[in-house]
Amino acid sequence: MAQHHIDYNNQRITFEIERKNVKNVNVNIKPDMTVKVSANNQVPIDFIENLVYKKAPWILKHVKQFKEVQPERRSEREYVSGESFKYLGKQYRLRVKKVELKDEEGVKYLRGFIHLYVKEIDNLEKKKQLIDDWYRERARKIFSESLNKVHTKLEKYGIEKPDFQVRSMKARWGSALIDSNTILLNLELIKAPKPCIDYVVLHELIHFKYNDHSDKFYDMLYTMMPDWEERKRLLDQDIVSELQV
């Protein structure tokens, strides 16, 4: 994608232009603070630059919001009691307990805490693996429930229920693989509230009818979920600190 820039109040805004078959010119700020503009081939560069300039206060505001959460995202986990972990939109404190060699290691969610049972309490890699495995197990269950619920609303449109896979993805919440009738869902979504998970699932399912981001795609999205923009905003702003983009 071509890269451009404009200057606004002594601040430079660098942005990328992606030429695609869209009706409107769309400006998006990604969680990694990059600014992307999508527009069709008929829209002149001058028009896009003027639009970015007009939107500069809004762009700078959102870039600042994303910048403020970057240090949290890069902080190192120690997996010790008292550390905070996000699950389904809420923060939970970790409780680490050493177990005997004969006992089973694992993770449980009990009484508002995430309990980590481990034989070697100083083994950072093992503790990380146990937490990651627990997140993945919960993701498979919660995502499956969401897919079953959301898909029932789309059956009348002739959309076949796809398979799904949980993946660690750096740049997107989900992806629709049309040819293999599969959707990929980002493992990080398990940290988001269930309404946000439902939004991503619906977004990907609609791609099986409209494999683009055309007006028809968004018309259907608005019809099925009128508050999808609020769900997306919450997802991007609240969970971005946990998402490596």
Per-residue pLDDT tens over the stretch 100-145: 988 899 999 988 899 999 999 999 999 999 999 999 999 999 999 9
Domain that holds residue 46: 2-68
The answer to whether the predicted template modeling score (pTM) of the entire model surpasses 0.95 is: no
pLDDT(71) > 50:
no
| Residue 150: CATH number of its domain | 3.30.2010.10
Greatest distance between any 2 Cα atoms in the chain: 70
CA distance 90 to 238: 10
Please indicate, yes or no, whether residues 132 and 231 belong to a single structural domain of this protein: yes
Please indicate, yes or no, whether residues 33 and 97 belong to a single structural domain of this protein: no
73 inside domain:
no
Percent of the chain with pLDDT over 90: 72
Domain count within the chain? 2
* Residue whose pair of structure tokens reads 């009691």 in the numeric block: 81
